[in-house]
Amino acid sequence: MSQKKEKEFEKIYSEYKDTVFGICVIYLKDYHLAEDAAQETFIKVLKKHSSLRDKTKLKAWITKIAINVCRNKLLRKSRKEIPSENLPQKQVSGKYEEKLSVKDAVSRLKPELREAVILFYYQDFTQAEISRILKIPPTTVAYRIRTAKAQLKTILEED
């Protein structure tokens, strides 16, 4: 690999490593699987980076790769539900504790609702961008976000 490509990849990795890992943890509900998925995501990014035509869509492209890797990992697990107790538990207080409980609630959603929430609230994509990333109609994106919000409210009220 040339030095230029190596530096470019290092920049991409340092900018998106936390984002990708966060997506994977929420999506897979398992810290160690998320580490594997994040690593696999960056391997694919490294191999396919030259095929990305529009560099302004890098974040969407990496996010889509991460989601596809997570989907594949879930399929390999024979669609078994991964217990949420495998999420990393950290002793925190205040607003951070609230964020962790929200992430735990998000991790309990069905995968299609979870990915809509991750893309909309955690990655700040618009509904139109999510529609293009997931290759679903914008009305389906809106429905998934609305449904997820209602389910999250119920989950958070139970806790």
Structural domain 1-89, CATH architecture: Orthogonal Bundle (1.10)
Class in CATH terms, 91-159: mainly alpha
Torsion sign, CA atoms 10, 16, 21, 27: negative
The ranges assigned to domains in the chain are: 1-89, 91-159
- Residue-level pLDDT at 137: 95
Per-residue pLDDT tens for 26-85?
Answer: 888 888 899 999 999 999 998 888 888 888 889 999 999 999 999 888 877 644 444 444
Helix 127-134 to helix 58-76 angle, to the nearest 10 degrees? 50
User: What is d(CA 47, CA 33) in angstroms, rounded to the nearest whole number?
Assistant: 21
Mean pLDDT of 102-131: 88
Closest CA to 44 of 75, 23, 20, 76: 20
* pTM: predicted TM-score of the whole model, two decimal places: 0.67
- Residue-level pLDDT at 94: 45
Tokens coding 141: 């994106």
pLDDT band at 159 (very low <50, low <70, confident <90, very high): low
